[in-house]
Amino acid sequence: MSRTSNRFITFMCSIIMLLGLIFHIIIPDRSFSELENRNLSGFPKFNLKNLFSGKFTEDFEDYIQDQFPFRDFWVGIKSDTERASLKMDNNNVYFGEDGFLLEKFKKPGENLDKNINSINIFKDYLGDIPINFLLVPNSVKIYEDKLPKYAISYDQKKLMEYVNSMINNELNFINPMDYLLENKDEYLYFKTDHHWTMLGAYYGYTSFMESKGLEPINFEDFEIKTLTDSFYGTLYSKANNTHIAADEIQAFYHKTFEDIEISFNNKTESYDTYYFDDNLHKKDKYTVFLNGNNPQLKITTDNKNNKKIMVIKDSYAHCFIPFLSAHYEEIHVIDPRYYKVNLKEYVNENNINEVLFLYNVSNFTEDGALPWINFGLNKTVMEN
């Protein structure tokens, strides 16, 4: 290579670095990436301790990467390049057929047995109060035929059979997999998000009711409305594939969903709807259901039958819970990731007479917060 060529390359690199520095100074730092759906690193705190320990350097590298000018553009370019090279996944998200993004499910670790044990202990403490456990498979199982060739994902069917064998046999364990597989041609899971749709939740609700020998609401009795057709969920943010079509979010309406009162986190302010339409203007539009994750909420319905259920859950429950209003006078919802109180006392104080655990398989195998359901009851569980 000639000396002139070397000078030109050096000159161009210098110009690019200078422009990058100028843009970095001019463009304000961002605290959140809508594309990646995560918080971005801010400028690290400087002190001698952080400098000599190397922490400042590590944090500064994260800061430069996160605040790089036009980051979203370059992230999109990276994703397009990977797709062009026929790469079949990104950040453990497979590019499936028909526009499906399917999250790889890994073999569970030690949290699985801890969480099973936590539910068993909780059952022992509650005694005769009926406990149900609805464990929901993820889309990667229901739509495994859409996975790329040679894609690897641990078998959720096998895992659910294991959970059923280890859970207290006095619990009502509900596996909705057969219902979901039978109706897989319907819109049961979002293509760009890890949640099921409200239609998928309806089949889960049907499984729950039939396991109790009760009739679910007839599907034809619902009015279904599309709330948005521009939802891009968590898997879209992980995969960074900008050419995937958006999802729709549909909501079910029924007369028993009316005349309800919802209070959040023991506050006096209340609401009369399950659907919070203002959240449709946010990146995470799934929070339209029950206003997203909250530590605790109480729903009072117009169904005066003295049936009071406590739902211990992850976010799969958010589009499931409205169906319960046809059958319970009160629905108490607890997220143990954020609400750490003595639940046995809560059950007694609120005259709860039934409990439902509702988790998706991925979250149940990974969640480290479930042992908190025994807070104040069993010191050994909390220490583990």
Per-residue model confidence (pLDDT) at position 380? 46
Q: Is 5 a member of any domain?
A: yes
pLDDT band at 237 (very low <50, low <70, confident <90, very high): confident
pLDDT tens column, 261-281: 999 998 889 999 999 999 999
Specify whether 22 is located in the same domain as 106.
no
pLDDT tens column, 131-150: 999 999 999 999 999 999 88
Q: Is 70 a member of any domain?
A: no
Torsion of CA 253, 254, 260, 265, to 10 degrees: -50
Task: Please state the length of the chain.
Answer: 384
pLDDT above 80 for 61: no
pLDDT above 80 for 28: no
pLDDT above 80 for 383: no
Per-residue model confidence (pLDDT) at position 376? 76
pLDDT above 90 for 53: no
For the ranges 40-44, 227-231, 316-320, the lowest mean pLDDT is seen at: 40-44
Q: Is 65 a member of any domain?
A: no
pLDDT above 60 for 69: no
Per-residue model confidence (pLDDT) at position 14? 62
Contact yes or no for 199/226 (Cβ under 8 A): no
pLDDT tens column, 296-309: 999 999 999 999 99
Q: Is 68 a member of any domain?
A: no
Q: Is 213 a member of any domain?
A: yes
Per-residue model confidence (pLDDT) at position 161? 97
Mean pLDDT of the chain: 85
pLDDT tens column, 341-369: 899 999 999 999 999 999 999 999 999 99
Contact yes or no for 122/342 (Cβ under 8 A): no
Triad 40, 46, 51: Cα angle to 5°: 105
In sequence order, the 6+-apart residues with CB closer than 8 A to the CB of 39 are 31, 32, 33
**How many structural domains comprise the chain?**
2
pLDDT above 60 for 68: no
Average the pLDDT over 43-68 and give the result: 61
Specify whether 173 is located in the same domain as 278.
yes
Q: Which residues of 6-19 are buried (b: 16+ CB within 10 A; e: fewer)?
A: eeeeeeeeeeeeee
Specify whether 116 is located in the same domain as 256.
yes
Contact yes or no for 69/24 (Cβ under 8 A): yes
pLDDT above 90 for 44: no
Specify whether 6 is located in the same domain as 112.
no
pLDDT above 90 for 240: no
pLDDT band at 15 (very low <50, low <70, confident <90, very high): low
Triad 341, 347, 352: Cα angle to 5°: 145
Per-residue model confidence (pLDDT) at position 384? 46
Specify whether 22 is located in the same domain as 171.
no
Half-sphere CA count of 314, side-chain side, radius 13 A: 20
Q: Is 287 a member of any domain?
A: yes
pTM: 0.80
Average the pLDDT over 163-181 and give the result: 96
Average the pLDDT over 28-52 and give the result: 59
Specify whether 319 is located in the same domain as 195.
yes
For the ranges 27-36, 40-49, 218-227, the lowest mean pLDDT is seen at: 27-36
Per-residue model confidence (pLDDT) at position 251? 98
Q: Is 56 a member of any domain?
A: no
Average the pLDDT over 108-116 and give the result: 95
Specify whether 23 is located in the same domain as 108.
no
Specify whether 208 is located in the same domain as 349.
yes
Average the pLDDT over 86-101 and give the result: 85
Q: Which of 310, 314, 316, 282 is nearest to 298 (CA)?
A: 310
The residue range of the domain holding 297 is 98-383
Specify whether 249 is located in the same domain as 358.
yes
Per-residue model confidence (pLDDT) at position 244? 85
Per-residue model confidence (pLDDT) at position 5? 58
Q: Which of 83, 84, 43 is nearest to 67 (CA)?
A: 43
Specify whether 225 is located in the same domain as 329.
yes
pLDDT tens column, 181-201: 999 999 999 999 999 999 999
Per-residue model confidence (pLDDT) at position 85? 46
327 phi and psi, to 5 degrees? -130, -10
Specify whether 19 is located in the same domain as 166.
no
pLDDT above 70 for 88: yes
Neighbour count for residue 345 (Cβ, 10 Å): 11
Q: Is 182 a member of any domain?
A: yes
Specify whether 113 is located in the same domain as 6.
no
